[in-house]
A and B are shown apart, each in its own frame.
Chain A
Amino acid sequence: MQNEKVITVNKLTKKFGDFTAVDHISFDVFKGEIFGFLGANGAGKTTAMRMLCGLLFPSSGEATVAGYDVYKENEKIKKSIGYMSQKFSLYEDLTVKENMQFYGGIYHMTEKYIKEKTATILKQLHLEKEGNLLVKSLPLGWKQKLAFAVSIFHEPGIVFLDEPTGGVDPVTRREFWNMIYEASDRGTTIFVTTHYMDEAEYCNRVTIMVDGRIDALDTPSNLKKNYNASSMDEVFLILARKAVRAAD
């Protein structure tokens, strides 16, 4: 898994006026990896991720996603990635099945594929009975798991998860991570931002962003060793205390 690079980022920068949200970051992500993107609020995680998804235009630097250039080939990138945003991303006034039908539809999936895939997902999540319920009637934990399932509905090579477990209880978070592992085992590359440090431990490698820069990038165990810390929490605190930018 350590050989094929699916995301390459070189000195990627995003400025909003005078404010440099993302400051010359560089890293590579390998196929099938769970790549954790950590940082305090306002450190620039979401901005960096949005540039890779084609939602934001970089100010400078280079980046490729699935082999495609973020400046020129973002239409091709869009076909190869899945995305789950910070905000809840399913339609509350549509049923579970209608949501899947919609997302399958806008990803050019065939009617047959959508049907089969919907059945498989509902079975996996033990939601067979809830398929025709409106999403708004489901508890938050289920919604988040569903949203993740929908983001990989079209079986993308890479999926970007922007703080996917915000506001979810520990048990559901654990289940959520099991789903991530399963997807990773199937060869999907996971790019995930979070500020739960226990989740950082689940990642293959993590970067820690401070003030728009990447201050550390390694496996969780190496990071702990290098910073002489007993947990990722401590590593994070050591790095985040250096931040001058106020969290928003």
Chain B
Amino acid sequence: MKQFIAFIRKEFYHIWRDKRTMFILLGMPIVQIIIFGFALTNEVKNSKIAILDSSKDEATMSLSSELEASRYFELEKNLVTYDQVLEEFHKGKIKMAVIFPPSFSEDLQHFNKAQIQLIADAADPNTANQLVNYATAIIKDYQNRITNNRKLPYTIDTEFRMLYNPQLKGAFNFVPGVMAMVLLLVCTMMTAITIVKEKELGTMEIILVSPMRPQLVVFAKAIPYLLLSTINIASILLLSVFVLEVPINGSLFLLVFESILFILVSLSLGLLISARAESQQTAMFISLIALFLPTVMLSGFMFPIENMPLPLRIISNIIPAKWYYHIVKSVMIKGVGLSSIWKETIILGGMMTFFLTVAIKRFKIRLA
């Protein structure tokens, strides 16, 4: 036990003395949450639009002002001629143009049918789609209001509810994703690097010649990073709840338990990498290419797994972060209990057992 404590104390000295790395490890989750929370968002807000109103009547005016009033749009320019529309798109000033034909009001009154043209900049297809949808919804809304006093033969109204995330906040999606990414980076990469570093320096030989049991070395190496990760989870959750207003709907205890399980999976992966890699660069490279990239791509956090071709969907199953991401989303956002995520929990537990067993076996008592 004394050996163990002496070793852990030494590890903390290493971490503490390397202030730059320590700040990166502790600061990274905070920066990521802030960047994802405030800068990198796929929500549509205050998109610039231009309006070409050739009719200028009561109907077009009130529709224009409703578009302007919504938080999705911001009027950049009132256009006069059709040619200006393309010109504005070329300048890149606007994301969407709304065009009322000269006969808008007349058509509406005499034929009960009028047309509005929406032109969106589909260089960014998702945003274009969303903008058109929002605009259509606003126009529909207006139409409902003016037809209220008239009887239509048939009407079908869609009534929808956005479950779990009524405001459609992006944070609900990326907070679980950032948690998975940060834990993986800190635990896997740092654990791998720290062990390989001792191999490189030659100090590992001295430790292996000492009576310290190799398994104990492995655990002593991992424990400081387990602690650092716990701090990271705490800071991510605090920021999410108090700054981004993402609720923790499920049990906090369950969330922490699952996170520690995922940390252990990541630590075991780190140990596994360290057993293979001979230099710190290799360790970092393997961590980034073999773990970080697949995690970003295939965990479902950036791209929905359901839309992927079958081979990728199959591969995604071996990505631990996929399961953890699902668990965090379920517990945090949907507020479900263990009964709904026991399968994912068992999978993570199995992965941990497997990686840890292999890692400890691989961490050889003798160097060759």
Report the Cα distance A105→B202, complex, angstroms.
19
Q: A83-B205, A106-B7 are in contact. List 11 more A-B contacts (CB 8 A).
A: A55-B366, A87-B201, A87-B205, A93-B18, A94-B13, A94-B14, A101-B6, A102-B10, A105-B7, A106-B211, A108-B3
What residue of chain B has the Cβ atom nearest to residue A160's Cβ? B209
Which residues of B are in contact with A by a Cβ distance under 8 Å? 2-3, 5-7, 9-10, 13-14, 17-18, 201-203, 205-212, 365-368
Instruction: Give Cα A55 to B210, complex, Å.
Output: 10
Q: Name the B residues within 8 Å of A98 (CB-CB).
A: 10, 13
Interface string of A40-75 (1 = CB under 8 A from B): 000000000010011111000000000000000011
In angstroms, how far is the closest chain A Cβ from the Cβ of B216?
9
Residue of B nearest to A136 (CB): B17
Residues of B contacting A56 in the complex (Cβ-Cβ under 8 angstroms): 366-368
Asked whether, in the complex, the Cβ of A105 is within 8 Å of the Cβ of B5, the reply is yes
CA distance A106 to B9 in the complex (A): 11
A85/B3 in contact, CB under 8 A: no
Complex contacts, B209 vs chain A, CB 8 Å: 53-55, 78, 81, 83
The answer, among A50, A87, A108, for a CB contact under 8 Å with B367, is A50
Is the Cβ of A102 less than 8 Å from the Cβ of B7? yes
Question: Are A55 and B10 CB-contacts (below 8 A) given A93-B17, A105-B5?
Answer: no
Q: In the complex, what residues of A have CB within 8 A of residue B201's CB?
A: 87-88, 91
Question: Chain B's nearest CB lies how many Å from the CB of A146?
Answer: 13
A89 located at the interface, meaning its Cβ lies under 8 Å from any Cβ of chain B in the complex: yes
**CA–CA, A103 and B3, complex, Å:** 9
| A16 neighbours in B (Cβ, 8 Å) | 368
6 pairs, CB–CB < 8 Å, chain A vs chain B: A53-B209, A54-B366, A57-B368, A78-B209, A94-B17, A106-B6
| Chain B residues, Cβ within 8 Å of A50 | 367
Residue with the highest number of chain A CB atoms closer than 10 Å, among B3, B202, B210: B210
- Which residue in chain A gives the minimum CB-CB distance to B16? A93
* A89-B202, A98-B13 given; A108·B2 CB < 8 A: yes
Q: How far is the CA of A226 from the CA of B9 in the complex (A)?
A: 54
Chain A residues near B7 (CB, 8 Å)? 102, 105-106
| Whole-angstrom CA separation of A93 from B9 in the bound complex | 13
Give B10's nearest chain A residue, CB to CB. A102
Most chain A CB neighbours (cut-off 10 Å) among B6, B18, B201: B6
Query: Which residues 84-122 of A sit at the B interface, judged by CB distance below 8 A?
Result: 84-91, 93-94, 98, 101-108
Check A91 against B211 for contact (C-beta < 8 Å): no
Chain B residues, Cβ within 8 Å of A134:
17
Contacts between chains A and B (CB distance < 8 A), count: 86
Distance, CA A140 to CA B14, complexed state (A): 21
Inter-subunit contact A93/B202 (CB<8 Å): no
Q: How far is the CA of A151 from the CA of B203 in the complex (A)?
A: 12
Q: Which of A84, A93, A106 is within 8 Å of B13, CB to CB?
A: A93
Check if B367 sits within 8 Å of A105, measured CB to CB: no
Tell which of A78, A90, A94, A101 touches B210, judged by Cβ atoms closer than 8 Å.
A78
How many angstroms from the CA of A203 to the CA of B6 in the assembled complex? 36
Smallest beta-carbon distance A199→chain B, Å = 21
B220 to chain A, nearest CB (A): 10
Task: Verify A106–B205 contact, CB threshold 8 A.
Answer: no
Asked whether, in the complex, the Cβ of A106 is within 8 Å of the Cβ of B3, the reply is yes
Q: How far is the CA of A75 from the CA of B210 in the complex (A)?
A: 9
- Residue A79 CB within 8 A of the other chain: yes
The count of chain A contact residues (Cβ–Cβ below 8 Å) is 34
For residue A81, which residues in chain B have a CB less than 8 angstroms away from its CB? Answer: 209
Tell me, in angstroms, the Cα distance from A106 to B211 when the chains sit together. 7
Question: Nearest residue in A to B7 (C-beta to C-beta)?
Answer: A106
The reply to whether A108 and B211 contact each other, CB–CB distance below 8 Å, is: yes
Given contacts A87-B201, A91-B203, A106-B3, contact A55 B208 (CB under 8 A): yes
Expressed in whole angstroms, the Cα–Cα distance for A151 and B205 within the complex equals 12
Name the contact of A88 in the complex, choosing from B5, B202, B208, B366 (C-beta under 8 A): B202
Q: Tell me whether A86 and B202 are in contact in the complex, defined as CB-CB below 8 angstroms, given that A55-B367, A78-B211 are known contacts.
A: yes
Structural contact, A85 and B6, CB atoms closer than 8 A: no
Q: With a 10 A CB-CB cut-off, give which of B2, B18, B209, B365 has the most chain A CB atoms.
A: B209
| List of B residues within 8 angstroms of A101 by Cβ | 6, 9
Contact residues in B for A75 (Cβ distance below 8 Å): 211
CB distance from A1 to the nearest CB of B (A): 25
The smallest C-beta distance from B367 to any residue of chain A, in angstroms, reads 5
- In the complex, what distance in Å separates the CA atom of A105 from the CA atom of B207? 11
A 109-153 to B, binary, CB cutoff 8 A, 1 in contact else 0: 000000000000000000000000010000000000000000100
Contact A91 B208 (CB under 8 A): no
- A91 CB contacts on chain B under 8 angstroms: 10, 13-14, 201, 203
Nearest CB in chain B to that of A86: its residue: B202
Contacts of A53 in B (CB 8 A): 209
Q: Residue of A at shortest CB range from B216?
A: A106
* Most chain A beta carbons < 10 A, residue from B9, B17, B206, B207: B206
- Cα A53 to Cα B211 with chains together (Å): 11
With A105-B2, A105-B3: A85-B205 Cβ-Cβ less than 8 Å: yes
Return A65 CB to nearest CB of chain B, in Å: 11
Q: What is the CA–CA distance of A83 and B209 in the complex, to the nearest angstrom? A: 7
Chain B residue, CB-CB nearest to A105: B6
Q: Smallest CB–CB gap between B338 and chain A, Å?
A: 40
Q: Which residue of A lies closest to B200 (CB)?
A: A87
Interchain nearest-CB distance for B120 vs A (Å): 56
Partner of A104, one of B6, B18, B205, B212: B6
Within 4-51 of A, Cβ neighbours of B (below 8 Å) are at 16, 50
Residues on B with C-beta less than 8 A from A103 are 206, 210
Which of B5, B14, B18, B366 meets A57, CB within 8 Å?
B366
